[in-house]
Structure 1
Amino acid sequence: MKKHTENPFTEAIVYSLETAKETEYDNLLMESVLLLQLSGEMTFETSSDRITARSGEIYLVRKHQFVKTTKTPKNNEYYKALMFILKEDILREYALEKQLDTTAKYHGKSNILLPESAYLKGFFNSLIPYTLNPKHINHPLSELKIKEAIELLLLAKPELKNFLFDLSEPHKIDLEKFMQSNFKFNVPIENFAKLTGRSLAGFKRDFQKTFELPPRQWLQHKRLKEAHYQIVKYNKKPSSIFLELGFESLSHFSYAFKKQFGYAPTEVARLK
């Protein structure tokens, strides 16, 4: 499996993802995404969900969460998916035009499988030219497509209104609870700070007070402790867990594991 940690989203509103190899990404979603799975499967894991999107399915994935995604080709076909970003500035403009309330908090599911819709399928078909000649977010057509997506989503599920128009920023949340739920995601420290509603300096300061360790050191210790537990409790193989626990290579994982525990992960079974 090939591992990526960079964020594939830059300045365009739609992305065509295509690969013949299984790949994995850890990303921070700062804006909601509309996903159409064309072929193969995408498994995406957040702190609260683990969902597999299959060919033909459309998902709405909420902003302000870490997502670990695994893209898997199937039946000798390339993995293919279209991802459309619901840009917040245009959501705000739409809400202002329609005089919609943007103060109501959304408390429902963060990842929603949308019902079959010929309108949404037709919308995605209309995005194909964007993947060939990407339009940037300041392009007039980009604004029109996002507003079209909003109308179609509300037509398919009117109750998505609060999902789309809760435009609040992450607030300062319980740091310990958040980190215990999200330590597996291999993302920059700055992204942990964003989702806890803190500046980077404030995050590091509060982190030290809470855990009595710097963030990077605590994350490595926590991930290695979880790896040890999974190997002992469930007989997991190091090669099957190092990626999902936030390590980029098996060699780095094995080196760090031996440094922390005094023996290699492959020796745990023998020492039980």
Structure 2
Amino acid sequence: MINPTEIIPGVLFYSYYASVRKDKVAFLEHTTLVLQVSGRFTMETATERFSMEQGEMLLIRRNQLGELTKTPLDGQDYQTIVICLKEDLLRQIALEGQIQAGKKYVGPPTILIPGNDFLHAFFQSVMPYVRHSEDKVTNAVGMLKVKEVVLLLLHIMPELKDFLFDFSEPYKIDLEKFMLSNFHFNIPVEKFAQLTGRSLAGFKRDFQKTFGMSPRHWLQEKRLTEARHLIEKKNMRPSAFYLDLGFESLSHFSHSFKKRFGKAPTEHI
């Protein structure tokens, strides 16, 4: 079976793993609901860490960066059901239900959903579709299930209205603070611009004013400087951290390090 299995294109997914899997960079572009069927799901951002196990649910707001760890427990495979709540779908639900967000959402970007009979019953009703992924669910039936879970969430936690239906663009956030916390994520500059509430041109302009250099140059310099610190001050080997600092491979890191500092990383250990 392919991981993850796409039950409804772009909307409903099911995944399982028999061994620990770690996704170093996850860019969650759309609001996402995750049900933990078995195993442990851990999400770590620059400011938060969430962990959940069997039967728990997590609602993750759009436009987030994180590291995901998926761990089987007690001899069972890791299994999750993921529902991607894209903006156009949420707009449709809001229009049909005449729902309006009362104000711009400023609360936590990730919310653990408390256990509830209605939601657990909903996910039990979805399990036949994910267990028999070869029998493709029609989009019409699938979208009814997605609308159902959104309405259940609103029934159980009415305060989620602003979380789900705030379609405003993100405010410009503090560029320096954000980049210093998230420089290690290996994502395109365009995604950094989006996450800070700027167009690409505006991001590059503000970045130059803030750091005195281009984003690509600064990211490379910052990652290599941090690498040198870990090697010289923490006695760490590059193989232990190169992925954590956003380098695609150990050879890429070693080449960049030697070009910047004139010596191979191993000569600094």
TM over 0.5: yes
Q: Which runs of 5+ in 1 are unaligned?
A: 1-7
In 2, distance between residues paired with 1:226 and 1:193? 22
* CA distance in 1 between partners of 2:243 and 2:54 (Å): 25
Judged with a 3 Å threshold, the aligned counterparts in structure 2 of structure 1 residues 72 and 238 are, in CA distance, closer, same or farther, namely farther
**Contact kept? 2:43, 2:49, Cα under 8 Å:** yes
Q: 1:71 to 1:265 in 2, by over 3 A?
A: farther
Cα 1:119–1:202 change in 2 (3 A) is: same
1:105 alignment partner in structure 2: 104
After TM superposition, give the deviation of residue 150 of structure 1 in Å: 1.5
Distance across 1 between alignment mates of 2:263 and 2:8 = 42
Counterpart in 2 of 1:149? 149
Distance in 1, matches of 2:39 and 2:251, equals 29
The Cα shift of 1:71 comes to: 2.3
CA RMSD of aligned residues (A): 2.7
| Residue of structure 1 equivalent to 2:253 | 253
TM-score (norm 1): 0.82
- Structure 2 vs 1, CA of residues 125 and 228 (structure 1 numbering), >3 Å: closer, same or farther? farther
Q: 1:9 to 1:30 in 2, by over 3 A?
A: farther
Judge conservation of contact 1:41–1:55 (CA < 8 Å) in 2: yes
Q: CA deviation at 1:101?
A: 2.9
Point out the more displaced range, 73-82 or 246-255.
73-82
- Where in structure 2 are the equivalents of 1:28-67 lying within 5 Å? 28-67=27-66
Aligned twin of 2:220? 220
Provide, for residues 141-198 of structure 1, a one-character-per-residue CA deviation record: whole Å limited to 9, x for no partner: 3432222112221233232222112221223333222222221111122211222233
* Counterpart contact for 1:105–1:162, Cα < 8 Å: yes
Deviation at 1:85, TM superposition (A): 1.0
SS in 1 for 2:229: helix
Is the 2:102–2:162 contact (alpha carbons within 8 Å) kept by the matching residues of 1?
no
What is the CA distance between 1:241 and its match in structure 2?
Answer: 1.8
* Pair 1:115–1:88, CA change in 2 (3 A): same
Deviation at 1:220, TM superposition (A): 1.6
Map of 1:175-190 to 2, 5 A cutoff? 175-190=175-190
Q: How many aligned residue pairs are there?
A: 260
Q: Secondary structure of the equivalent of 2:172?
A: coil
- The Cα shift of 1:235 comes to 4.0
Question: In the alignment, is the contact (CA less than 8 A) between 2:31 and 2:60 conserved in 1?
Answer: yes
Matches within 5 A, 1:131-150: 131=130, 132=133, 133=135, 139-150=139-150
1:1-272 alignment runs, 5 A limit: 11-21=9-19, 22-102=21-101, 104-131=103-130, 132=133, 133=135, 139-269=139-269
Contact persistence 1:41–1:72 (CA under 8 A): yes
The offset of 1:135, in angstroms, is 5.3
Give aligned-pair identity as a percent: 50
Aligned partners of 2:175 and 2:259: how far apart in 1? 27
